[in-house]
Structure 1
Amino acid sequence: MKKANYFILSIMILLVLSVIHLIQGQADYTVSQLLTEIWTPGRIQDVVLTLRLPRLAIGIIGGMALAVAGAMLQTLTRNPLASASTLGINAGAFFFIVLFAVFFPTLLSEFRLGIALFGAIISALMILLLAGRRMEPVRVALTGMIITLFFSSLTGTLQLLYENETGGLFLWGSGTLVQLDWSGVQFAWPVIVLFLMIALLLAKQLDLFQLGEDLATSLGQNVPLMKLISWIVAIILASTVVSVVGPIGFIGLMAPHLVKLLGVKKHGLLFIFSMVWGAILLVGADVAGRFISPHSEIPVGALTALVGAPCLLYLAWKKAQFMSNGQSKLGNTATPMRLSFSLLVVSILFIALLFIAIAYNGDVWILDWSSFIITEFRLPRVLTAALIGILLAISGLLLQGILRNPLADTSVIGLTSLGGAGGMIFLVALPSVSLAFLPIGIAIGTIFAFVAIYFMAKKTKFNPVLVTLIGIGLSAFGSSIIQVLTIKAKLTVTNALVFLSGSTYATNWLDFKLALLVLILIAAPSILLSRYIDMLQFGEDTAQSMGVNLSKIRIITLLFVVILTTFTITIVGVIGFVGLVAPHIARRIVGNKTRAVWLLASMIGAFLLVLADFIGRTIIMPSEMPSGLVVSLIGAPYLLYLMYKMK
């Protein structure tokens, strides 16, 4: 089929979706009524012109802008995984909008685009700083995903601390096309149209750049200037969309790839086709959202992630399947301390923290440890937090060791996100079933993530970057499911944020007993895997020559992690980063011997989560900040630090 025919078919698809989009909603009418009564004043004209047509218009121009921005970023970074969402540009823009909504609402109303643009530029500069000069495709996308995690943790903190100021941003923060009038379209369309035209004017320059920077320079192209202008165009297009409809991901990833499947290569046609398919994807996602839930708004960004995350997984696997294993060092110290001394110091600090956390509530000290508040509330909560910290630290240690991946953690590689999604599906689909069966849903989610990672990464011998990128794609997929179900089940913003962040609030002696049982029966025996993990430090070939059955050991270890993750989510929700940070700190103290790291990391994990629980309980009293959110404020920057060190 000729490209002209493809284009005509694409336009027809967009027209059909647009008509369906206009007749969807609680104000019901048919296509024939739409075509006949739109021209005369009345109910249908009011609904269409005031609500539905602005929503459709912003969907079309927003999809066009995101698609072209994605196509440009893929060329500039030579990265098929690039888009405004995967590079963290959307997340940076949205964070600064939330920041100004809280502290400078007047400035936000006057300079919304400028504020979003500033956040997007910050994200882009972080990408250029952390990704390295080579701009290796998978690494660039991975860095962008970590930047997204970093800004998302900051945004979540603001949304929880300032719920009244940001309450209206929860749905919008997931990406929504809802428009109450034409103001959003009037604000966005001049900027988008102008910079789409500039992008088309840059098309031939990008064709030349795609041949290679050296060749482009020899043919007279000012490569630095062209790259600068192109980056600016892509960032402004993405920022404009974020400032009106919130961060909508994966449109810029999917649309250019769909167009390239049609045989379109030159940037002029690539941009034109991408505009149409970006609009198709965004309007189609909104149509699907209103079909799934006719009486409540499902964020269109969650639906694009449901489709886009598998697309990211496929592209990451396709790009990395021929990589060498490239396993990274786990971090070490040239002068390790004695384990006994290290454990003594950490134990003293931990006991001091336990005393403060139990006796102090942020206002007064309670030294009567027989009081009801201490015995029935404070003590089980603090001790449960300590046990969960141990379980999370052991999970992270096992993952990092068996995958030889310094970035491995249950939150980073998608186990906690899909486990949480499995739990949410269980709660929403089977509301009458006892919560005692909740671990079944969580286990199904974590096993799904485990199977996906194992079979997608096995061919590359579990390349660390690929495993992490697959995990982040799975996390996006799981988070989108949780967002959809949160809206569907009509959870409050606070409850949703607490579940997504993880909290030790209201844990009791039953939770403590369950965590203790898991520690004794599951976590403690995992120390027997230490010698196999130590063998792996010399490389897979050496380990196999020493008689290690790698496939068997990996499956056993990952099953340990799946079980530990299932129960930690069951007890406290989705808490990440403890399993990332605790083993790294332990290795920098006692070196790389897994048994020593296992013991010290367990103590550090307990210390970190008890500290996070204490800070979350006291910093904004009488309200509380979820301990998982406190930990993420430490873990996300630490991930960025690791990426910088691995550059």
Structure 2
Amino acid sequence: MVALPPVKPVRVAGLAVGSAVLVVVLALVHLTQGTSDVGAVDLVRWVFGASDEDAAKILVAARLPRLVAGLAVGVALGFAGATLQSLARNPLASPDTLAVNAGAWLTVVAAAAFGLSLPILPSGALSFVGGLVAAVFVLMLSAGGSSGPARLILAGTATAFALNAVTVLLMLLFQRETVGFYAWGNGTLVQGDFDAVVQTAPVIALAALGCLVLGRRLDILALGDDTATVLGLHVRRTRLIGTVLAVLLSTAAVTIAGPIGFVGLCAPVIVRLVARFVPGLHRHRLLMPFSAVAGVVIVIGSDILLRFVLGGQAGVDVPTGVVTSLFGAVVLVWLARGHRDAGSGRRAATTHLAKVRSARFVRSVIAVGVVLVPVVTVVGLLAGDAWLLGGDVVNWLTGRSGPAVTYVLDQRYPRVLAALFAGAALAVAGTVVQAVSRNPLAEPGILGVTAGAGVGAVALITTIPAVGVWTMTGVAGACAVATFALVYGLAWRGGLDSDRLILIGFGVYTAGTAVITFIIIATDPWNTGKALTWLSGSTYGRTALQVVPVAVALVVLTSVLAGSVRRLDLLALDDDTPRVLGVRLERVRLLTLTAAALLTSTAVAAIGVVGFVGLVAPHAARALVGGRHSRVLPMAALLGAVLVSVADTFGRTVIAPAQIPAGLATAMIGTPYFIWLLWRTRVRPVG
């Protein structure tokens, strides 16, 4: 049992004074920023009694509410993050990675979509229920977070993806009722008055006090469950109370300013770094208050930086959460760089995949897949807001259809082809990523490649709306490859560790998503449909020319990968076996992952950001045909094509003439499967 170092009061007091001075300075700077020309001199004159009504109005009506909101949110998220990380004994636990923010956001948007205009406290209570359910669910999937940071990230990401898919769907279907919720969902400090802070402040104060009271128990819990139990601590009760308090704090912050990302992750990490120089700071009754101060510094500092770099109006248009997410992504990557391979956890997750299938069974399964592709293609051509008959398609193919049928099918067939080719490309890319990382829970999206391609494509179509298809594909491909190179380079530390690759990829994915959000909101803040449609993956408005790049990439790169199936089989085993058999390990990794990045980029350019296909299709293929990549690659491609095509057809038909983007439909289909996989491979405590 390791005792905590003794507290040195002089150093703690010095840190407290320095922190207070920093917060005061940031607060004063924050008050001088805004859209009006009222500056520091005007505010100082007003403070000392000068009768400046304009300065008073601006200060009371806009700047002080924004500052007070930042203070309250920073305190709440600092306490929440420190508590969650201690409960899970995991430095990556936070309201974001436990999907608390996603659950809270969903409940608030759902209430607005269905016409419920709730007062502040009832709205906060509703978001608390959503956040608590999400957090408990993620902790169950990740064995309370103790099974490792990579698994916690995967469980939280899967749950957040599913919840966000439903949220985005509601915002697309009820755009008028949910106007402004996209920016709010990324965390904004814009306040019209003090009401939200005044009503939630008692909740934050009481929950923070409860966390402090729990501090001694958390000190004991840090020694391990067994030791804590021997010392008389009721571990389960402590975790339950702590989780409720942390979620209460997180959802109070969401009620005030929306989900401001990664403050709860970064604040405790910063304090623990400072604890190296201030002994005793690891004690929770010191860790939590200083985490709250660090949270305030992050939130207020990010808001200052945003308006300093982009101007006062950016503080209104661009959510502060975009800046905190970028900062959080950097911290997450830094933490992941120091991560050591869990080893056993990954092997446990892959053992159930080794299945032997007879050649006859494999041929039968692949034959079924080959038959399904034309079947879903025909159904995709027939289904939609206007249902057609098989004869209509035959007449259209032979040039004998009427104008109405011709118009419908001319618009529909590029969408069907885009879904088929993009689905197959994502599935093949996912197969490669899983083989190289030796992790069946990895996919191109969670490794940041999808977000990188999305940044390139969104930036290009925003600045040059009439850009050509091949140019957009080239830019998306270049950004995807650059993102892959960044993730791969950061993850390499004398070797490629699977968990480190996933954690760094998630950090880069977070940064890429924040950049996409910034580009869209900064350039076209009122066009929520454009943002949501792209980020949700949609085949709407696709032309035949836009399908060509992904089709070419699929044919060429899959053929190249098909020649490397034996090497992929060896890579999926370990690092030593390929080297013994003469395989140039790093060269094969680099080439195959580059091919996966290019396949992903062309798919993103064709239909936008679609998640889970690269995870579900390869895993389902291995379950059907075994682990040999000569069988997995074609089967995964067929399943990916079928999955996205079915999702696209479903989205175009079920609520026609309105549509559900294909990415949302695949998330709804893929998430339950992924959650089942996480549950099946969860690491159970020994004893």
Task: Flag whether TM exceeds 0.5 (same fold).
Answer: yes
Aligned 8 A contact 2:469 2:546 in 1: no
Closer, same or farther in 2 for the Cα pair 1:248/1:154, shift >3 Å?
A: same
Which residue of 1 is the match for residue 6 of structure 2?
A: none
Q: Give me the whole-angstrom Cα distance separating, in 1, the residues matched to 2:144 and 2:104.
A: 24
Q: Following the alignment from structure 1 to structure 2, what is the Cα–Cα distance between the partners of residues 325 and 235?
A: 28
Q: 1:222 to 1:206 in 2, by over 3 A?
A: same
Q: Which stretch shows the higher mean deviation, 464-473 or 219-228?
A: 219-228
Q: Note if contact 1:293-1:488 (Cα within 8 Å) is conserved in structure 2.
A: no
Matched residue of 1:163: which SS?
Answer: coil
Q: Which moved more, 1:232-241 or 1:509-518?
A: 509-518
Q: 1:461 to 1:331 in 2, by over 3 A?
A: farther
- Aligned equivalent of 2:369: 346
CA spacing shift, 1:133–1:243, aligned 2, 3 Å: closer
Counterpart of 1:396, as a letter, is G
Q: Specify the alignment match of 2:181 in structure 1.
A: 169
Match of 1:160 among 160, 172, 175: 172
Alignment of 1:172-187 (within 5 A): 172-187=184-199
Give the structure 2 partner of residue 283 of structure 1: 300
Pick the aligned partner of 2:320 from 280, 296, 300: 300
Is the Cα contact below 8 Å between 1:80 and 1:137 reproduced in 2? no
1:319: how far off?
Answer: 2.7
Gaps of 5+ in 1: none
Paired residue type of 1:57? V
Change (3 A) 1:208 1:522: closer
CA distance in 1, matches of 2:576, 2:156: 33
- Which aligned pairs between 1:487-506 and structure 2 lie closer than 5 A? 487-490=521-524, 492-506=527-541
Partner of 2:657: 622
Q: Tell me what 1:634 maps to.
A: 669
1:203-240 per-residue CA deviation (whole Å, 9 max, x = no partner) reads 23322332334444444444433333222211111111
Give the 3-state SS of the residue equivalent to 1:164 in structure 2.
coil
Counterpart pick for 1:573 among 608, 622, 630: 608
1:273 corresponds in structure 2 to 290
| Pair 1:262 & 2:274 matched | yes
Asked if the contact 2:33–2:39 (Cα under 8 Å) also holds between the matched residues in 1, the reply is no
379, 382, 407: which one aligns with 1:359:
382
Q: Tell me the secondary structure at the aligned position of residue 165 of structure 1.
A: coil
**How big is the shift at 1:168?**
2.2
1:424 aligns with 2:458: yes
1:572-614 per-position Cα deviation (integer Å, ceiling 9, x unaligned): 2222222212222222222222112211221221111211221
**Residues 102-161 of structure 1: CA deviation (Å, up to 9, x unaligned):** 236145766112211111211122123211267224133432233222222221222222
* Distance in 2 between residues matched to 1:124 and 1:216, nearest whole Å: 23
Per the alignment, in what secondary structure is the counterpart of residue 492 of structure 2? helix
Q: Aligned to 1:405, what secondary structure does the other structure show?
A: coil
Matched, 1:131 2:148: no
1:176 deviation in Å?
0.7
| Distance (Å, rounded) in 1 between the aligned partners of 2:141 and 2:587 | 36
Moved more, 492-501 or 503-512: 503-512
Aligned to 2:155: 143
Distance in 2 between residues matched to 1:385 and 1:222, nearest whole Å: 52
Partner SS for 1:413: coil
| Pairing partner for 1:532 from 549, 558, 567 | 567
**Deviation of the 1:417 alpha carbon:** 0.8
Of 9, 14, 17, the match for 2:26: 17
Aligned CA distance change for structure 1 residues 10 and 431 (closer, same or farther; 3 Å): farther
Supply the distance in 2 between the matched residues of 1:325 and 1:356 (Cα, whole angstroms).
42
* 1:476-555 aligned within 5 A: 476-490=510-524, 492-555=527-590
Q: Secondary structure at the match of 2:563?
A: helix
Say which is worse superposed, 336-345 or 558-567, in terms of deviation: 336-345
Per-residue CA deviation, residues 475-495 of structure 1 (Å, 9 max, x unaligned), is 111100111111111151000
Q: Which residue of 2 aligns with 1:395?
A: 429
Counterpart of 2:278? Answer: none
Residues 215/565 of structure 1: CA separation in 2 closer, same or farther (3 Å cut): closer
Work out the CA distance in 1 between the residues paired with 2:187 and 2:274: 28
In percent, how many aligned pairs have the same letter?
33
Alpha-carbon shift at residue 387 of structure 1 (Å): 1.6
| 1:421 to 1:172, Cα distance in 2 relative to 1, 3 A | same
Residue 28 (structure 1) aligns with: 37
Return the alpha-carbon distance in structure 1 between the equivalents of residues 587 and 452 of structure 2. Answer: 24
3-state SS, counterpart of residue 665 of structure 2:
helix
Q: Matched residues in 1 for 2:498 and 2:41: separation?
A: 56
CA–CA distance in 2 between the matches of 1:134 and 1:504?
37
For residue 565 of structure 1, give the secondary structure of its aligned residue in structure 2: helix
Task: State how 1:376-415 maps to structure 2 within 5 Å.
Answer: 376-415=410-449
Q: Secondary structure at the match of 1:81?
A: coil
In structure 2, relative to structure 1, the CA distance for the partners of 1:145 and 1:514 (3 Å cut) is: closer
2:15 pairs with one of 6, 27, 40: 6
- Residue type of the partner of 1:261? L
SS at match of 1:381: helix
Q: Deviations over 1:471-530 (max 9, x none)?
A: 222211110011111111115100001111121112212123333322232222221111
Q: Where in structure 2 are the equivalents of 1:92-131 lying within 5 Å?
A: 92-103=103-114, 105-106=116-117, 111-131=122-142
**Cα deviation per residue 1:548-569 (whole Å; 9 max; x = unaligned)?**
1111110110111122122222
CA contact (8 A) 2:90 2:145 kept: no
The residue that corresponds to 1:458 in the other structure is 492
- 2:676 aligned counterpart, secondary structure: helix
Q: Which amino acid in structure 1 is aligned with residue 261 of structure 2? A: G
Compared with structure 1, are the counterparts of its residues 133 and 24 closer, same or farther at alpha carbon in structure 2 (3 Å cutoff)?
closer
Counterparts of 1:282 and 1:24, CA distance in 2: 15
Shift of 1:444: 3.7
Structure 1 residue 440: deviation in Å?
4.2
Q: Structure 1 residues 562-571 or 34-43, which shifts more?
A: 34-43
User: Normalization by structure 2: what TM-score?
Assistant: 0.89
Please say if residues 251 and 278 of structure 1, whose CA atoms lie closer than 8 Å, have aligned partners that are also in contact: yes
Rate the CA distance shift 1:4–1:604 in 2: closer, same or farther, 3 A: same
Q: 1 CA distance for matches of 2:327 and 2:595? A: 30
Determine helix, strand or coil for the equivalent of 2:191.
coil
> Do the aligned residues in 1 keep the contact of 2:221 with 2:228 (CA within 8 Å)?
yes
Residues 228, 361 of structure 1: CA spacing in aligned structure 2 closer, same or farther, 3 A cutoff?
A: closer
Amino acid at match of 1:58: A
Task: Name 2:263's counterpart in structure 1.
Answer: 251
Quick one: distance in 2 between partners of 1:429 and 1:356?
Answer: 37
Give the letter for the 2:634 counterpart. Answer: L
State the partner residue of 1:225: 237
Residue 195 to residue 512, structure 1, CA distance change in 2 (3 Å): closer
Stretch deviating more after TM superposition (103-112 or 443-452): 103-112
C-alpha RMSD of matched pairs (Å): 2.4
Q: Which amino acid aligns with 2:374?
A: I
1:283 is displaced (CA, Å) by: 0.9
Matched positions, count: 647
CA contact (8 A) 1:81 1:316 kept: no
Q: 157-166 vs 33-42, which deviates more?
A: 33-42
CA shift, 1:626, in A, is 1.6
Q: CA deviation at 1:375?
A: 5.2
Shift of 1:426: 4.0
Closer, same or farther: CA 517–224 of 1 in aligned 2, 3 Å: closer
CA distance in 2, matches of 1:206, 1:57: 29
Aligned-residue offset at 1:193: 1.2
SS of 1:58's equivalent in the other structure is helix
2:446 and 2:80 map into 1 onto residues whose CA distance is: 27
